[in-house]
């Protein structure tokens, strides 16, 4: 299989612009960079976002984890990853003014279009965030590139900041990761309203009595004649949709009871993203 050419050329930049990369919002947004365009740092992922309803192009583990947090927040209404700092001439001018060498492609020497990891709409206001491991923050060249990025967003009166792995709450992120794929659950339509309502009632009662998650889910499957694992998947769905709540800041362990379990009755919290 032929290797994908990842080097940057002027023609490639023009093609990306014509494709509409870096444009649009919500489900229609096209990231400037896709997983296949660059070597990834860690396990690159394309997760289907709750907020946007599209698959996100996440180039590292830390980007994925930060995106989980954004997706879980009720106050975030849009997430645009790999956002380009266009026009290119602007970052070139910034670099020249502050005496910093503008990033270029190592093979072609062509100036690259710089990107910000995330442009976030939070409470109807945009925020730009760069997400990097803390081990990279002290690197002089990295900080130079951050300065170009900061000045770019400053000129647009948009708050820019850095997020490191030390800023990310590990337990909360792993819990969101555990329930994330069950946000869209095909069992809902297949089971039907009556079965789902019965499952909610039976399972909630067992969990409120302090039964372990695994035991309560298995008992619910048996009582309703469901395939083993159905109730556990639905438990994750209810948590993801915030129909039910638990203590998300402590790791959810199915072998234990659900800590601070509560049935959430606020209807407006039932279905973020549809």
What is the number of residues in the chain? 274
Q: How many CB atoms lie within 10 A of CB 230?
A: 20
Q: Please name every residue paired with 55 in a beta bridge, in sequence order, or none if there are none.
A: 48
Please state, in angstroms and rounded to a whole number, the distance separating the CA atoms of residues 254 and 247: 13
Cis peptide before 87 (omega within 30 of 0): yes
Q: How far is CA 58 from CA 117, 160, 169, in A?
A: 9, 19, 19
Name 266's Cβ contacts closer than 8 Å, sequence gap at least 6. none
Give the pLDDT of residue 138.
Answer: 82
The two beta strands, 45-48 and 55-58, are antiparallel
The arrangement of strands across the sheet holding 115-122 comes to 76-84, 115-122, 125-131, 159-163
Q: Kind and range of the H or E element at 233?
A: helix 230-240
Q: Kind and range of the H or E element at 81?
A: strand 76-84
**pLDDT tens-digit series, residues 76-115:** 999 999 999 999 999 999 999 999 999 999 888 999 999 9
Name 137's Cβ contacts closer than 8 Å, sequence gap at least 6. 143, 162, 164
Which segments in the chain show pLDDT lower than 70?
1-6, 39-46, 265-274
Q: Kind and range of the H or E element at 26?
A: none
3-state SS assignment for residue 88 = helix
CATH topology for the 171-269 domain: Arc Repressor Mutant, subunit A (1.10.10)
Give the pLDDT of residue 14.
Answer: 94
Distance of CA 120 to the CA centre of its chain: 11
Give the domain ranges of the chain: 10-168, 171-269
Please state, in angstroms and rounded to a whole number, the distance separating the CA atoms of residues 220 and 202: 7
Q: Which CATH architecture has domain 10-168?
A: 3-Layer(aba) Sandwich (3.40)
Q: Which of 20, 18, 77, 32 is nearest to 50 (CA)?
A: 77
Give the pLDDT of residue 186.
Answer: 82
Give the pLDDT of residue 8.
Answer: 81
The two beta strands, 159-163 and 125-131, are parallel
Give the pLDDT of residue 271.
Answer: 40
Give the pLDDT of residue 269.
Answer: 41
């Amino acid at each position: 299989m032929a290797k994908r050419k990842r080097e940057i050329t002027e023609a490639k930049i023009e093609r990306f612009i014509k494709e509409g990369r870096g444009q649009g919002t919500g489900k229609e947004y096209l990231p400037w960079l896709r997983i296949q365009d660059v070597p990834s740092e860690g396990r690159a992922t394309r997760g289907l976002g709750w907020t946007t309803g599209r698959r996100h192009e996440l180039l590292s583990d830390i980007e994925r984890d930060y995106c989980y947090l954004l997706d879980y927040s009720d106050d975030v209404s849009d997430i645009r990853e790999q956002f380009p700092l266009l026009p290119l001439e602007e970052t070139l001018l910034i670099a020249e003014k502050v005496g910093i060498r503008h990033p270029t492609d190592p093979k072609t020497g062509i100036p690259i279009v710089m990107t910000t990891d995330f442009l976030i709409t939070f409470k109807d206001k945009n925020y730009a965030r760069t997400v990097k491991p803390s081990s990279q923050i002290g690197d002089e060249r990295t900080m130079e590139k951050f300065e170009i990025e900061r000045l770019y967003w400053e000129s647009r009166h948009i708050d820019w900041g850095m997020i490191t792995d030390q800023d990310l709450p590990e337990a909360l992120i792993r819990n969101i990761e555990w329930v994330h794929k069950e946000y869209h659950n095909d069992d809902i339509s297949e089971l039907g309203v009556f079965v789902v309502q019965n499952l909610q009632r039976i399972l909630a009662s067992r969990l409120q009595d302090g039964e372990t998650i695994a035991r309560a889910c298995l008992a619910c499957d048996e009582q309703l004649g469901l395939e083993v694992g159905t109730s556990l998947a639905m438990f994750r769905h209810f948590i993801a949709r915030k129909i039910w709540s638990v203590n998300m800041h402590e790791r959810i362990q199915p072998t234990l009871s659900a800590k601070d379990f509560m049935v959430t009755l606020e209807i407006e919290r039932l279905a973020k993203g549809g």
